[in-house]
């Protein structure tokens, strides 16, 4: 297998001026595709074709991995992990900081490929490079704090010395979705390799090329080539083969699949973290700055065309500001620039696939058929791209409608009016999800106090999701059916380690010494414990 990809330069060629050449489609040069796909561990001889959501044109053939290929990926990863786990924390920090620079330097190339494979707006693609640079910098600067050997008090002062180590688990399986193909390929795995593990990664089949470019950048930054293996294929088969071999699994995707992953991990008694779906609420309180809330609401609901786990799909707005908020939110939504192109300038891009378009269409049609009102958007836009759907605001949504409690994972948000804040919080907490919440209010202290009552792993005040997500020291993840475990921060790193306590006992042993009887030893220990309590020992 070759690991060489040409450094820099445009990977993607655009159609030029469609007026001049309406048949031309976006494409990646075949040798670029070959250089990227060479990283996949695949001897099956099978491949699957992918298409770009921008225009539906064929994109690449992705070699598929068999179960034997997945096992081979683990063999290579295990070999690489042994040497990697012995590298110093300082060395790993240097590599992480090089990755930070590399991602910022190569952001155009990364964004081109992300847009081409996912159909998103270029500004949403830029967020991916940004998030990975932030992740690399955070662990690049703090790894020594998290992984350094800690000292805790021993049972007897001076006589018992206890150190706590964080040793890597081994090889971590990373199973990721398509919605943020670059971020999701790397954000969990960076912490895994930083902690001294190797990774076997399975990206979603629709966005494999971006995950391969991500792997290539890791190698260029200085991570050993074999430390990060990429396998490809359907989740039900290749995902299962990964969980059968891994020492820990980090899964991001739907709650339904997360349950299967957790069950298989439990069978093997390995740990897993699950970053799952949400039906995320925003509260606009009566003292909110309405203009700021309306601006935040468009990003909250329509960033990445709503294909974002932390996207806001339910907005609860106080009676006192409801009408003004709705006016401003609808006006801002109608002014959004839409388009499925590689260029900057679009506020919202395409959905990724026909499946996503079908789900979004079904949620809106069901709501309208049962009496909801469309305040903005509401329909597919085949004139812009094959999977394009307008940013959509619904009012009058009721519990019997699919969109009420089910994640749409698209650009559709429902508005609800409230009079009483406690009632709004109860409605925000309704359902089984608990990923992300948002509160708009000019009283920060009161908003933070209300945040504690919202059953979500992250709550953003006067922002939708970005403030927590981009604060890498802050753990991120879901309560209830939105997940288990946290990415980011110390927790995001330490999940990939085993905590090991090493105690060294001096002079006195745990049993009768110096000719003591068992009874005398018991009396001595009883006295010692009483003294230690008086001295304030924990």
Binding residues (CB under 6 A) for ligand NAD: these are: 175-179, 202, 204, 235-236, 239-240, 252-254, 257, 260-261, 275-278, 309, 407, 409, 435, 478, 483
Nearest in space to 230 (alpha carbons), one of 253, 252, 260, 203: 203
Specify the DSSP element, H or E, that contains 48: strand 47-51
| Cα–Cα distance measured from residue 53 to residue 356, given in angstroms and rounded to the nearest whole number | 11
Residue 157: C-alpha distances to residues 506, 508, 530 (Å): 10, 11, 14
In angstroms, what is the minimal distance from the CB of 278 to ligand NAD?
6
Report the residue number, 71 or 446, with the smaller CB distance to ligand NAD. 71
Q: Would you say 441 or 488 has its CB closer to ligand NAD? A: 488
Q: SS3 letters for 446-473? A: HHHHHHCCCCCCEEEECCCCHHHHCCCC
> Which is catalytic among the residues 275, 313, 390, 481?
275
Of residues 128, 309, 390, 456, which has the active-site annotation?
309
Nearer to ligand NAD, 236 or 337 (CB): 236
Query: Residue 457 and residue 48: Cα distance in Å, rounded?
Result: 37
Residue 154: how many CA atoms within 13 Å on its side-chain side? 16
Task: Check if the beta carbon of residue 103 is closer than 8 Å to that of residue 217.
Answer: yes
Cα–Cα distance measured from residue 521 to residue 14, given in angstroms and rounded to the nearest whole number: 82
Number of other residues whose CB lies within 10 A of the CB of residue 486? 20
- Spell out the residues 6+ positions from residue 122 whose beta carbon is closer than 8 angstroms to its own: 111, 115, 342, 343, 344, 345, 346, 349
State in Å, rounded, how far the first CA of the chain is from the last one. 56
Query: Which residues contact residue 172 at a Cβ distance below 8 angstroms, ignoring those fewer than 6 apart?
Result: 189, 192, 197, 198, 199, 200, 246, 247, 248, 249, 250, 496
Q: Are 337 and 346 in contact (CB under 8 A)?
A: yes
Closest CB to ligand NAD among residues 260, 268: 260
Q: What is the DSSP letter of 442?
A: S
How many separate helices (H) and strands (E) can be counted in the chain? 18, 20
| Least distance from ligand NAD to the Cβ atom of residue 360, Å | 13
Rounded least distance, CB 174 to ligand NAD, Å:
9
Q: How far is the CB of 466 from ligand NAD (least distance, A)?
A: 14
309 as an active site residue: the answer is yes
| DSSP 8-state secondary structure symbol assigned to residue 383 | T
Q: Which is nearer to ligand NAD, 196 or 277 (CB)?
A: 277
Q: Nearest distance from residue 290's CB to ligand NAD, in Å? A: 29
CB of 183 to ligand NAD, least distance (A): 9
Q: To 10 degrees, what angle do helices 181-194 and 208-221 make?
A: 40
Nearer to ligand NAD, 14 or 235 (CB): 235
Report the alpha-carbon distance of residue 519 to residue 42 in Å, rounded.
67
Answer yes or no: 187 catalytic: no
Q: Are 63 and 40 in contact (CB under 8 A)?
A: yes
**Comparison of 296 and 483: residue with beta carbon closer to ligand NAD:** 483
State which residue, 100 or 202, has the beta carbon closest to ligand NAD: 202
Quote the strand ranges of 139-225, DSSP E.
Answer: 150-153, 160-168, 171-175, 198-202
Let me know if 116 is exposed, middle or buried by CB neighbors in 10 A (0-12, 13-18, 19+): buried
Query: In angstroms, what is the minimal distance from the CB of 339 to ligand NAD?
Result: 23
Closest contact distance (angstroms) between CB of 402 and ligand NAD is 15
Contact yes or no for 500/165 (Cβ under 8 A): yes
Q: In whole angstroms, how close is the CB of 406 to ligand NAD at the nearest point?
A: 10
Please, which residue, 435 or 454, has the CB nearer to ligand NAD? 435
Partnered with residue 167 across adjacent β-strands are: 498
| CB 117, min distance to ligand NAD, A | 13
CA 44, 48, 54 angle in degrees (round to 5)?
155
For the chain, how big is the Rg over CA atoms in Å?
Answer: 26
Q: What is the dihedral of CA 349, 351, 354, 360, to 10 degrees?
A: -120
- 95 or 187: CB nearest ligand NAD: 187
Where in the sequence numbering do the catalytic residues fall?
A: 275, 309
């Amino acid at each position: 297998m070759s690991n060489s990809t040409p450094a820099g330069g445009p990977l993607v060629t655009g159609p030029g001026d469609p007026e001049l050449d309406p048949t031309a489609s976006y494409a990646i040069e075949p040798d670029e595709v070959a250089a990227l796909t060479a990283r996949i561990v695949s001897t099956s001889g099978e491949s699957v074709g992918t298409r770009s959501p921008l225009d539906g044109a064929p994109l690449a053939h992705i070699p598929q991995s068999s179960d034997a290929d997945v096992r081979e990926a683990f063999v290579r990863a295990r070999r690489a992990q042994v040497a990697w786990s012995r590298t110093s924390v300082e060395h790993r920090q240097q590599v992480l900081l090089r990755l930070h620079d590399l991602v910022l330097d190569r952001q155009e190339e990364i964004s081109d490929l992300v847009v081409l494979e996912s159909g998103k707006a270029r500004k949403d693609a830029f967020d991916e490079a940004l998030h990975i640079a932030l992740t690399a910098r955070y662990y690049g600067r703090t790894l020594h704090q998290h992984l350094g050997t800690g000292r805790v008090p021993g049972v007897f002062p001076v006589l018992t010395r206890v150190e706590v180590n964080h040793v890597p688990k081994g090889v971590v399986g990373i199973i990721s979705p398509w919605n943020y193909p670059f971020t999701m390929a790397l954000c969990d795995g960076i912490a895994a390799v930083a902690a001294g593990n190797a990774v076997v990664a399975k990206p979603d089949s629709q966005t494999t090329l971006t995950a391969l470019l991500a792997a290539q950048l890791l190698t260029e930054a200085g991570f050993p080539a074999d430390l990060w293996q990429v396998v490809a294929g359907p989740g039900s088969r290749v995902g299962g083969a990964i969980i059968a071999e891994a020492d820990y699994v980090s899964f991001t995707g739907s709650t339904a699949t997360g349950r299967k992953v957790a069950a298989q991990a439990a069978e093997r008694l390995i740990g897993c973290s699950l970053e799952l779906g949400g039906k995320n609420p925003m509260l606009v309180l009566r003292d909110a700055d309405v203009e700021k809330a309306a601006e935040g609401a468009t990003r909250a609901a329509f960033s990445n065309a709503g294909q974002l786990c932390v996207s806001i799909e339910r907005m609860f707005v106080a009676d006192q500001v409801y009408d003004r908020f709705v006016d401003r939110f609808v006006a801002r939504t109608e002014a959004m620039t839409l388009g499925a192109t590689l260029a900057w300038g679009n506020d919202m891009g395409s959905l990724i696939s026909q499946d996503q378009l079908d789900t979004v269409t079904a949620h809106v049609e069901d709501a309208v058929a049962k009496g909801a009102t469309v305040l903005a958007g509401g329909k597919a836009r085949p004139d812009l791209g094959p999977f394009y759907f307008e940013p959509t605001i619904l009012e009058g949504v009721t519990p019997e409608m699919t969109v009420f409690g089910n994640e749409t994972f698209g650009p559709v948000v429902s508005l609800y009016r409230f009079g009483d804040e406690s009632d709004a919080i109860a409605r925000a907490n309704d359902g089984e999800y608990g990923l992300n919440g948002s509160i708009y209010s000019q009283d920060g202290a009161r908003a933070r106090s209300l945040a504690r009552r919202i059953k979500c792993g992250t709550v953003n005040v006067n922002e939708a999701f970005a403030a927590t997500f981009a604060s890498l020291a802050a753990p991120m993840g879901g309560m209830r059916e939105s997940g288990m475990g946290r990415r980011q921060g110390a927790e995001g790193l330490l999940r990939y380690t085993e905590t090991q306590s090493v105690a060294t006992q001096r002079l006195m042993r745990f049993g009768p010494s110096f000719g003591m009887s068992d009874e005398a030893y018991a009396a001595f220990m009883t006295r010692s414990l009483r003294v230690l309590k008086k001295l304030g020992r924990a």
